[in-house]
Every structure is written in C-alpha cells, then in structure tokens.
Structure 1
Amino acid sequence: MSNLVDAENCARKAIEYQPDSHQPYTLMGAISYDKYEYEEGDYWFEQAIQHGAETEDIDAERKRIIKSTKDEHKRHEAAEYLLKKDSKRYAWAKDHLKKKDNK
C-alpha cells in the first residue's frame, strides 16, 4: 500500500508538471482502482480521456487491473461494479464472476 501512496504522489506531481498529458491521469485512475476506489478511478480515467487518452486504452487498463487483482473477492467486486456501469462495454468482466461462482 505504501507503494501506491508513493505512486500517487508521483502522479500528482506529474499532473502539476504536465497537466496536458493524459498519462498521469491514467496513472491516478489505475492507482484508485488498485485501492478499490472505483468511482474515483473513473473520475481520473475520464480526465485522462479528456486529455487525449483513447477510450480503448483506458478500458484495457481497467481490464489489466482487474485481471491482476489477487484478492478474488475484490476482483469479483470490481467486475460487478463495471457490469453495473455498462454491461455491454464491460462484458469481458463476466469471466471474473464465473471463476468465483464455479468454486
């Protein structure tokens, strides 16, 4: 968790130094998702899109984060969150629900 705090501090400095770049906003979104703060992550991901990030890249980042979440309960929680948000756009998240349901 301390690495996430350090990463967040770096991302905030990057936003300060390069406010027009989408990369620090994307990083803040990823950090928020890693902290299971999905709504805050969505805010930062939306900021990244407004600063030039591609929607497909942001969705790929969400997918990567959820796939790499080691805590099965949290992975399931994140998948449910995204499916409630947009079941078509995040249809891939259903795979993470099946894994828990099959056990």
Structure 2
Amino acid sequence: MPRAVKRKEYPLSMRLPEADIALIDRAASLRGRSRTDFVRDAAVRAAETVLMEAAPIRMSASGFKSFMAALSAPATPVPEMVDTLSRIAPWERKTSKSGN
C-alpha cells in the first residue's frame, strides 16, 4: 500500500494588474530570476522583516544595564571613518578644465 507523501510546496495564486506584472517581470529579468522566484524571495524577505520588527528582545537586567552603558558611552573615533569623512567628494572638487 503506498505511503502518503508529505507535501513540501503549496500553491499561491494572485491576481495583479498588467502594470504590476510588467514591473515584476522587468525586475526579475534584471536579477536573472523567474517571476515566481523573484516574487517568492521578495515576499519571504518582507515577511521576515515584519516578524523581526515584532520580535521582542529579551535580556537580563544586568545585560540591559551593560547595553545601556555601551549606548551612553562616548563614541570612539574609527580612524578609517575619520579619514573617509574628511575627504572632499569628487563632485565637490573644482576642476581646472575651463581655466577657473
């Protein structure tokens, strides 16, 4: 007698306007993905984000005290960041092509 196989995939059907389908297809194509893969990944990422935003963070009282102390402490400069932020952006540099 054959055993029942546990289903691993479930169908999901949606009705979307043509403009939405065109947008999704264009984005999926840019990523080299099928429409199904693209929509599935986008939906799963959105669901994970919502669940992470709603998940409580639990810690002990001493852990919370340490966490708050770290947040309240003065910032320590990161030399690489100081260097990067002190540079002049390429679009802010004066060019000498026109003789100015």
- TM-score for the superposition, normalised by structure 2: 0.22
Point out which structure has higher relative CO (alpha carbons under 8 A, 6+ apart). Answer: 1
Query: Would you tell me which structure has more helix in proportion to its own residues?
Result: 1
Larger radius of gyration: 2
